[in-house]
Structure 1
Amino acid sequence: MNPEIQRRLQLDEALTVAVLTAFIREEVEKAGFSKVVFGLSGGIDSALVAYLAARALGAERCLAVMMPYTTSNPKSLEDAQAVVEDLGLPSLVVPISGPVDAYFAGMDERLGVPATPLRRGNRMARERMSTLFDLSAHHGALVLGTSNKTELLLGYGTQFGDLASALNPIGDLYKSQVRQLSRFVGVPTAILEKPPSADLWQDQTDESELGFTYDFADEVLYQLVDLRLSPEELAANGYDERVLQGIVRRVQRNQYKRKPPVIAKLSSRTIGVDFRYLRDWGQ
């Protein structure tokens, strides 16, 4: 990563943790809840959320849910369990192979073709989020999101799947910042050092699927989004124009994933347009 961009992305770790733990505590309570529930995949993003939530609310008010699929790497569950044990979190293991496979067994027959890895992965992500919201209703716990800023900007996630949540404490942290903060709060070394993966199919890694590293994405996105430089300005600074345009297209194309559903305006006050209040309105 460009040393100057790397310097700019560096966090005041103690201050950032203080802000994010206060955010979790205050937003959960303002929404009328006292507990949270989140998916714990064994990856760095959900691990960081677990450490932040435990600091904010106390481990006893946090439910970590591990939802492996048949093709999930067994090491992912081991790493998630290590976080649970380190923090003393209440936890559940809810395998999702049964409902996902049952759906595709019927749908593949109807459509006459087997599901692509993309469709199967999206179904897995939505099955996991459906499980979390069901447990949210049972336990009266708010669902925490685990998607970082890099993923949100690139649209690297499943709408109404892993991108869904009631509250996301790490959505304004680039991936490199997630790594920095994870080291600071004590996320296990095994999680810090392994390649990022959504673990949706065997040998899948985020960076091989994206076609570039997270460090490169952070470097480009920070300049495009935070510094508001144009793609032409970055190209003039030596960045590959083809790769730049690919990233820009991803950010633009996936804007719909970052927005609530668009409502056609017919009345004088339309929800999300003229009728807008804070999320804790009425509490």
Structure 2
Amino acid sequence: MEKQVNHLVDWLKQKAEQANVDGLLVGVSGGIDSAVVANLIKRAFPENSLGAIMPCKSGVDDEQHANSVIDACGIDAVKIDLTDAHDVMFSTIKMQLEKKNAWNEKQAKLADANLRARLRMSTLYSLATNYRYLVVGTDNAAEWYTGYFTKYGDGGVDLVPLVNFTKGEVREMARFLDVPTDVIDKKPSAGLWEGQTDENEMGTTYDMIDKHLKGEPVPEKDREIIERLHARSAHKRELAAAPPKIR
């Protein structure tokens, strides 16, 4: 694990140097993936790394866990509450669509959640411009394969150091990096609404996804769910589609 961590830290330094920036930043959610990334960028740039806590109708536990991650790794941090910005933007969109009789209440929950992720992305890039940093993402292999991220939200980043690591491997790395135990042991959740968990939304577990990615057998029901999620989210892992030139 020490070899893996050193490899990632060296890679982060290299990418920052290639981009001619001064450091790196990450959004710290209180979850295990962002905790690991916060530790990695702190090791890569001890004096030029930043953890951004961006509550937006978030649970109290999430912010407490984010703060414990910040304290444990000693990274510089900033808190920017996006609740008011989200309320203004979402209510304005809803009001205008209701005037057109075009508001889709069935899609409102998803639109609300995706807007939060995209507001956080915009905030991170505003911070990155201010500091001359790159934005580092937190998606692991399971999330990347299944598309469990918001396009141009938490998927809108410059670097994805954990994309080749399963959720289980990220958990091992977190223990090696001395991430707080309560962060390691909590149920994975995007914190989008009360009681929301990643696995309930996906319909399968990270353990099953990890096994599938390693080529190990999993129940047919889980295999079908994982492959359906992968196929449906292909557009998230690609650049915006463009038509071919007419020659």
What range describes the TM-score normalised by the shorter chain of this pair?
over 0.9
| Mapped pair 1:175 → 2:171 | no
Give the letter for the 1:85 counterpart. Answer: D
Give the letter for the 1:240 counterpart. Answer: P
**Displacement, 1:84?**
1.4
Match of 1:67 among 51, 54, 64: 54
Partner of 2:124: 132
SS in structure 1 opposite 2:26? strand
Match of 2:157 among 165, 176, 195: 165
Single out whichever of 77-86 and 183-192 deviates more from structure 2: 77-86
Give the letter for the 1:259 counterpart. Answer: E
Question: CA contact under 8 A between 1:117 and 1:201: conserved in structure 2?
Answer: no
Q: TM-score, normalised by structure 2?
A: 0.93
Partner of 1:35: 23
SS in structure 2 opposite 1:265? coil
Give the letter for the 1:62 counterpart. Answer: S
Question: CA contact under 8 A between 1:38 and 1:63: conserved in structure 2?
Answer: yes
Question: CA contact under 8 A between 2:204 and 2:225: conserved in structure 1?
Answer: no
Match of 2:63 among 57, 64, 77: 77
How far, CA to CA, are the matches of 1:165 and 1:84 in structure 2?
A: 20
SS in structure 2 opposite 1:223? coil
How far, CA to CA, are the matches of 1:257 and 1:189 in structure 2?
A: 32
Partner of 1:243: 222
- Percentage of identical aligned residues: 34
SS in structure 2 opposite 1:116? helix
Structure number with greater Rg is 1
Give the letter for the 2:233 counterpart. Answer: N
Give the letter for the 1:181 counterpart. Answer: M
**Displacement, 1:14?**
1.1
Match of 2:141 among 138, 149, 154: 149
Single out whichever of 208-217 and 158-167 deviates more from structure 2: 208-217
How far, CA to CA, are the matches of 1:263 and 1:116 in structure 2?
A: 29
Q: 1:89 to 1:240 in 2, by over 3 A?
A: closer
How far, CA to CA, are the matches of 1:254 and 1:69 in structure 2?
A: 25
Match of 2:237 among 254, 258, 262: 258
How far, CA to CA, are the matches of 2:198 and 2:90 in structure 1?
A: 24
Could you list the runs of 5+ residues in structure 2 that have no partner in the other structure? Answer: none
**Displacement, 1:265?**
2.9
How far, CA to CA, are the matches of 1:154 and 1:33 in structure 2?
A: 31
How far, CA to CA, are the matches of 1:261 and 1:102 in structure 2?
A: 29
Question: CA contact under 8 A between 1:24 and 1:53: conserved in structure 2?
Answer: yes
Please report the RMSD computed on the Cα atoms of aligned residues, expressed in angstroms.
Answer: 1.6
How far, CA to CA, are the matches of 1:23 and 1:190 in structure 2?
A: 29
Partner of 1:196: 188
Could you list the runs of 5+ residues in structure 1 that have no partner in the other structure? Answer: 1-12, 225-233, 269-283
Question: CA contact under 8 A between 2:203 and 2:225: conserved in structure 1?
Answer: no
Question: CA contact under 8 A between 2:22 and 2:131: conserved in structure 1?
Answer: no
SS in structure 1 opposite 2:93? helix
Partner of 1:90: 76
SS in structure 1 opposite 2:24? strand
**Displacement, 1:96?**
0.9
Give the letter for the 2:53 counterpart. Answer: M
Match of 1:102 among 83, 88, 101: 88
| Mapped pair 1:45 → 2:24 | no
Question: Per-residue CA shift, 1:125-151, capped at 9, x if unaligned?
Answer: 000000000111111111111111100
Give the letter for the 1:20 counterpart. Answer: L
Q: TM-score, normalised by structure 1?
A: 0.81
Question: CA contact under 8 A between 1:20 and 1:52: conserved in structure 2?
Answer: yes
Partner of 1:276: none
